């Protein structure tokens, strides 16, 4: 291995000439640099500073600029589902769902059962293209396809590596489709982890997925925790997304969801608990004490009418909370806007929500992803992986580090994104995807979706 190889980071572009991004306003995100640039080489940020200095230093560098360039760290989605990408606009058979469990039964568990092997990569490519268009360079995904489980994560991995974002992948183990499906889910998680050990990826890391505690037995939960620990994998699961999860666990196991996780040794700094909408003070204490990560998904929670997470209490207790979309959208910038609105609206207090949403969007999500990926993500700093987004944003008002979040709330939007770079590789240039033929993917996706929707209408195979 050469010295240059040793300095490469996961997700880095191999043997490409340096890239100079700018000139523009660079946000690290807490510091603003004017007339600045970002010099990238070997997948990492080599330097940030005055553009003219960097230009002199790297005359041979490729350049990437925009007229009114605003350069931010690549955005991160802390919880999503690429497998839902082909459901966009799909008619849902039967009576409208009246509650969260019915939404799962009539929509998502109907869809996941009829996903076929061929669908995974196409669905993932659609979801990943959406991510890039929204400036998202890192996602934490949670996959389900009980009748097409074997090899599903390998298909997702191929799509991720092709598009070029970073992804933490896992398969959601559940007993809802029987013991054999649960066993297959455990094996699928382990298969990806072992494949990554044999052939490391510069984009993909493995986690161990569990659906949610209202669909796993004690035996299955114990097996998952044991298998994840043996492979050194962090857990990723839905926690108390709806009150039904709590009611089931109290009735069946005499424990609240987070208490049951704690009893099985499933909490900890590498566990990602998505939602935590219906957790009480004691459970928040357990999440804090074990340093468990939480993904907040306000749009999805509103869409499913399940309530909203107690983010004030979670943050007060020092829990690391990141922002996810739960597959509801790929648009993390939109999610940031909703995250601040929902808390203010729910508290009926215009003072609430702003600082909390800012803390989650700018810091919590970066900390969460950095821990999962073992790399410094969500910041622009020398030595950090070169994941960044260039907006063409002719701001009509002063734009400073102190009011960046105000511009993220009311101005900066996915429509301003022109270039996206991950690991030093240009994924989108002048709004054109560089790593994948977007038109061909969408054409294939429409064919897959039409067949998938027919199968959803007919119902599961067995």
Residue ranges that bind Zn ion, judged by CB under 5 A: 326
Minimum CB–partner distance for residue 228 and Zn ion (Å) = 18
Interatomic CA distance for residues 77 and 131, integer angstroms: 9
Q: How many residues does the chain have?
A: 462
Minimum CB–partner distance for residue 96 and Zn ion (Å) = 21
Minimum CB–partner distance for residue 354 and Zn ion (Å) = 26
E strand or H helix at 138, and its extent? strand 136-141
Nearer to Zn ion, 25 or 301 (CB): 301
Check if the beta carbon of residue 186 is closer than 8 Å to that of residue 223: yes
Nearer to Zn ion, 152 or 409 (CB): 152
Interatomic CA distance for residues 364 and 368, integer angstroms: 6
Minimum CB–partner distance for residue 297 and Zn ion (Å) = 7
Minimum CB–partner distance for residue 79 and Zn ion (Å) = 6
Interatomic CA distance for residues 438 and 436, integer angstroms: 6
Nearer to Zn ion, 306 or 445 (CB): 306
Minimum CB–partner distance for residue 142 and Zn ion (Å) = 5
E strand or H helix at 208, and its extent? strand 208-212
Structure tokens at 75: 């955005």
Minimum CB–partner distance for residue 300 and Zn ion (Å) = 7
Nearer to Zn ion, 28 or 84 (CB): 84
Nearer to Zn ion, 188 or 326 (CB): 326
- The residue number whose beta carbon is nearest to Zn ion equals 326
Nearer to Zn ion, 112 or 326 (CB): 326
Check if the beta carbon of residue 418 is closer than 8 Å to that of residue 430: yes
Interatomic CA distance for residues 159 and 149, integer angstroms: 16
CA distances from 396 to 341, 363, 393 (A): 23, 26, 9
Nearer to Zn ion, 46 or 236 (CB): 236
Greatest alpha-carbon span in the chain: 68
- Compute how many other C-beta atoms are within 10 angstroms of the C-beta atom of residue 125: 26
């Amino acid at each position: 291995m050469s010295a240059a190889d040793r300095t490469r980071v996961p997700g880095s572009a191999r043997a490409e000439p340096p890239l100079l991004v700018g000139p523009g306003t660079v946000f690290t995100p807490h510091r603003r640099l004017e007339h600045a640039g970002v010099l990238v080489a070997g997948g990492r940020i080599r330097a940030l500073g005055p553009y003219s200095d960097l230009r002199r230093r790297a005359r041979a560098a490729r350049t990437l600029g925009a007229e009114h360039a605003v350069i931010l760290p690549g955005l991160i989605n802390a919880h999503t589902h690429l497998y839902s990408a082909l459901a966009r606009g799909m008619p849902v058979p039967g009576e409208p769902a009246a509650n969260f469990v019915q939404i799962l039964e009539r929509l998502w568990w109907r869809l996941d059962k009829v996903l076929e092997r061929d669908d995974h990569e196409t669905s993932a490519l659609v979801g990943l293209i959406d991510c890039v268009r929204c400036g998202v360079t890192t996602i934490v995904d949670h996959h389900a396809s009980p009748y097409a489980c074997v090899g599903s994560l390998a298909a997702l991995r191929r799509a991720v590596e092709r598009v070029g974002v970073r992804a933490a992948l896992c398969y959601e183990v559940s007993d809802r489709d029987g013991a054999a499906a649960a066993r297959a889910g455990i094996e699928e998680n382990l298969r990806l982890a072992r494949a990554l050990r044999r052939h490391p990826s510069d984009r993909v890391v493995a986690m161990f997925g569990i659906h949610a505690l209202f669909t796993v037995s004690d035996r299955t939960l114990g097996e998952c925790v044991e298998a994840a620990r043996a492979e050194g994998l962090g857990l990723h699961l839905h926690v108390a997304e709806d009150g039904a999860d709590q009611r089931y666990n109290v009735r069946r196991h005499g424990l609240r969801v987070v208490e049951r996780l704690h009893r099985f040794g499933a909490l900890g700094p590498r566990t990602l608990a998505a939602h935590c909408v219906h957790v009480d003070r004691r459970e928040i204490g357990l999440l804090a004490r074990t340093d468990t990560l939480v993904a907040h998904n306000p749009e999805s929670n509103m869409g499913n009418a399940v309530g909203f997470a107690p983010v004030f209490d979670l943050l007060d207790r020092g829990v690391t909370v990141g922002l996810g979309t739960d597959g509801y959208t790929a648009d993390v910038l939109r999610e940031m806007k909703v995250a601040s609105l929902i808390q203010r609206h729910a508290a009926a207090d215009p003072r609430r929500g702003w600082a909390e949403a800012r803390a989650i969007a700018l810091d919590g999500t970066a900390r969460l992803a950095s821990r999962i990926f073992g790399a410094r993500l969500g910041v622009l700093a020398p030595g950090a992986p070169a994941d960044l987004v260039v907006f063409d944003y002719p701001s009509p008002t002063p734009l400073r580090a102190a009011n960046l979040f105000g511009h993220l709330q009311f101005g900066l939007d996915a429509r301003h994104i022109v270039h996206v770079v991950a690991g030093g590789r240009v994924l989108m240039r002048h709004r054109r995807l560089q790593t994948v033929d977007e038109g061909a993917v969408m054409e294939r996706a429409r064919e897959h979706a039409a067949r998938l929707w027919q199968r959803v209408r007919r119902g599961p195979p067995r």
